[in-house]
Structure 1
């Protein structure tokens, strides 16, 4: 019996020590768990404080006041030729800045640019600024100037480093041959603004897209698709290239008075010369539902609009590239000049002289 009692005591002691060991282990586990959670909590709070600090900095930066600058100073400081298509995605912070960016493109808001523009116009045309008339005709071809000189006996002709020009004081009309392409078109559109003309008319040639048009037909464009690229330096791409309505109205009246039919609609301006051999390009023209395609009108409309110049256009269909054998050649071009360009230039001179004679206001608003 005594042995059994001792054994029982030993067993109870053993079980008690085991329980103590288990409790100790549990306490150690809890302690380590608490330490780990404290570390996690500490890391989390430090991360949160870091984020909070960053947010505070951002908020502080966003609430900083920008010093306002007068619009005239902004206009002088903005470089208009750095404003390419991508710049339209940049946010402009104030209405004044938006106005300044537009004014920076205008010669009359930039005295240094105006001075250079006058010098350039005189140098490029050979004309003194005082000899330019208030009605201006623009053309791509020298034959138009030759015909102008024949029709107007008081015409003064000059040849500059890049352009040719002729002016008639009797008719109050100047004609300028500026070359081919949208870059030159945009340039002349800006340069003529220093003359502050009452109206400008572009007499250009175009290729027909619509099947109903034939060589010798007249097109009075109401808009032009800006696919040439140069106009992106003047206005955002979503702004349409439009003529001054009243100039087009004067031209349409002259056409009707002389019994000439004409079409109105949208045309496509491109800087891609050999488009006739690109099937995808031709398909795009059809999908756009344009009447004709050429290279200068969109750039002229856009540059003149920004420069506050009243601009119109009367286009002559010179070839039908969408039809088989319809692309202009050396011989067909001679035929066009022989049969149709005399009428074209005569209509242009009469329209511009009519605007001068009537003395009506062409633009009725300011912006």
Structure 2
């Protein structure tokens, strides 16, 4: 299939982004405003990035029993991920094969997938099991219907899906990251809360906000800002599939540091937090005792759907005070999120200004530079 032609305006915008990414980091600037405001630019992202990359849709521990499911979208494609009867993770199209209604919404548990429109119903492996009155149609063959499978893999306890049959396995793309964070044992962390939100900003503005800690002292001056020591933060160069930075600190809550029973982490790692941005939309704060995350999905240039969740390292799950600590953390995270929401929505208003133009990045915004280079490389790759 031929690629749709780009307009002169969006081609110029991509070239401006790519030219900016050719600068050395010492001379790097933020992305051009049109990268956040152009619907055509978003269409390119959906075609060249979202249709081909592995996308996180949640935590595997959230699907505990056969029939547990969660729903998501890859661009315009609704998908469902579930545990089948053998407790294997399966992903498939979440669209009925009859008149194309969406089948399941949200999260839940089912023994069969039943279409809410005409009651066609499917087994947990996607095979059509029932279609009311269709036996009266001579040309109908139930056995010829099965929901299309979607590639689904698990990495470090996270569920990833892709529509690209040729995408290299997740583990292969994130081998370096697995090595960097292996001692944390993130696979065994248990999700204890999950929410969904929609904010009025561009998805990349929120992603970039997560990636850098330069904004902490000001934007979060009422919460975590006073505890942020910018001079001690490390922002190494990123990799093709992710970027990261470290914060070593004495946590205000016991769950921010390693539990006494944690024998995986030693030395300064027992109080080091990793901030991970796994391209394009999976953002994780990983501490020795807990984690929290955002999974982003654009809903047009000015709205982003957010999957927000978090939980505890296994040593804290059975700790008598874990629930109290987690409740205190959740209260803090809610306050931090409210601050971030105000910040990223203000940036989205600002990038529309006629006089807006990219400014120089600080040394603490190395992840933003790497993210822009990722986008510049991917646009036009397929």
The structure number with the bigger radius of gyration is 1
Q: Which has the higher helix share?
A: 1
- Fold in common (TM above 0.5): no
Structure having greater relative contact order (Cα 8 Å, sep ≥ 6): 2
Q: Which has the higher strand share?
A: 2
